[in-house]
Structure 1
Amino acid sequence: MGRPKRNDADAFFDSDLADLPVAARWREWMLRIEAAIFAATSPVPRETLARIVGDDARLDDLIADLQAELRARPYELAFVAGGYQLRTRPRFASAIRLAHGDRIEDAGPPALTRTEMLALAGIAYLQPATRAALSRHAGREISRDVLGALKRHGLIAAALRAPEPGAPLAWVTTGRFLEAFGLASLRELPDLERLQDEGFDPSNESRLDRLWPMVDADNEGEDGGSFEE
């Protein structure tokens, strides 16, 4: 795939920086990438970043250098939900929530009850999934209130009406779900069949951490820590 065509605004932007020494040019490209991602409210696609560096720039190497530079910082450059995003590291999630509550999306997954987390896991693996299907999967009733809470957090959305009696809503996860759990795509979900082969029971919420290894381990307690009943 070639580079996107330049519009009139692009014509005034010097992406190549050919007049700079090699080291200074590389540094400026790194800073531009960081600035573009820092200013974004959602993950920045690779194609967008390619527009702000020169034709001869090795974007993957620039991103790798930037990631290496951020290793000592409380945030990292990660590929999530189809783009790049600066994200605070999971071990700082509790400090961010203490200071800002759930108003800061980059604080990781929002505080969920164990039933909400169980329903979210069911939707992630079964989607599109109806409430009845989620209840069967969980081995307990998944209420409309539970789904409403997940929807308010922006983690799920109603995708369609299932071809069943009563045409119930079928639910899917959203881009916000990928962002919250640090996933590039749904393909990065833990392999449920492998976990089940190892004895994991998806209806047993006491081992939900097996499904979500990306959740802040520092907050795990006997009842899941990161989640609130």
Structure 2
Amino acid sequence: MTEARRKDKDQPTLLDTELEHLPPELRWREWMGRVEAVIFAASEPVPREMLVRIVGRNCNLDLIIDDIRAELAGRPYELVSVAGGWQHRTKKAFADAIRAATGQVDMARPLSQSEVLVLMCIAYFQPITRGELTAFFGKEVSRDLIGVLRSHDFIASGPRSPTPGAPYTYVTTKAFLSQFGLDTLRDLPDFEALEDAGLLSKEQLLAGNVALGLGGAGEVDQSED
């Protein structure tokens, strides 16, 4: 192999993103196909910055996504915006059929009510330390409880707190967003609005009289520890 051919082989293939040789309708369909193919092939939500690499400079990515979603309206799977990107997911209505066909059984222990409430507190008030969580609930939040949330990959260590001793704080993860069907933390119900409406308060949290309310696929066990 000549040096020139070797260099050509090592060069990445340049993708024609503008597709100016195609009429507008075919160009749009090609962009739609590319976007859906990349999302379909990915095991994690695909961020916007990855998708803009495969479409034209003047392509409206949000409209592309809308058109793909419209075409999938009657299908058993859909395109969802989650964890800062887009992902194909089967619709919840088909969960039982999938489990029956594959024999899959969810062996993970569901979160207890205490774990749900601590997770909810971290989601709303992050970054927050274990000591601050303990002060909030008026009883110790154990390392074991934190460990359970870590094992589900719902939380991770955040920056160190500026308080004495510089303890680690806790923050939620992309897995948390993905599990509960959230695109960003801005999709959490507004805490102050819920308080003003009388739907949520610290007292309700402490009493355990509040559902998780994060609008997603994860089911939790609301029984007492």
Q: Give the TM-score taking structure 2 as reference length.
A: 0.77
Q: Which whole-Å CA distance do the structure 2 matches of 1:194 and 1:130 have between them?
A: 24
C-alpha change, 1:41 and 1:130, in structure 2 (3 Å) is same
How many residues in Structure 1 have an aligned counterpart in Structure 2? 205
Q: Deviations over 1:109-149 (max 9, x none)?
A: x9322211111101111111122222333344322111111
Matched with 2:5 is none
Matched with 2:205 is 202
C-alpha change, 1:160 and 1:51, in structure 2 (3 Å) is closer
Q: Structure 2: any 5+ residue segments left out of the alignment? A: 1-10
Q: Which whole-Å CA distance do the structure 1 matches of 2:58 and 2:75 have between them?
A: 29
C-alpha change, 1:96 and 1:192, in structure 2 (3 Å) is farther
Matches within 5 A, 1:1-229: 8-11=11-14, 13-92=15-94, 99-101=103-105, 111-199=110-198, 200=200, 201-209=204-212, 211-212=213-214, 214-216=215-217, 226-228=219-221, 229=223
The answer on whether the counterparts of 2:79 and 2:88 sit within 8 Å (CA) in structure 1 is yes
Offset of 1:52 from its aligned partner? 0.9
Structure 1 segments, 4+ long, off by >6 Å, are: none
Matched with 2:7 is none
RMSD between superposed Cα atoms in Å: 2.7
C-alpha change, 1:10 and 1:203, in structure 2 (3 Å) is farther
Structure 1 window deviating more from structure 2 (129-138 vs 160-169): it is: 160-169
C-alpha change, 1:92 and 1:163, in structure 2 (3 Å) is farther
Give the aligned residue type for 1:215.
G
Between structure 1 and structure 2, the one with the greater Rg is 2
C-alpha change, 1:165 and 1:113, in structure 2 (3 Å) is same
Give the aligned residue type for 1:100.
Q
Q: Structure 1: any 5+ residue segments left out of the alignment? A: 1-7, 104-109, 220-225
- SS of 1:142 mapped into structure 2: coil
Q: Give the TM-score taking structure 1 as reference length.
A: 0.76
C-alpha change, 1:57 and 1:193, in structure 2 (3 Å) is closer
Q: Deviations over 1:158-206 (max 9, x none)?
A: 1233344554331111111112122221111111112122332222323
Give me the identity figure in percent.
Answer: 47
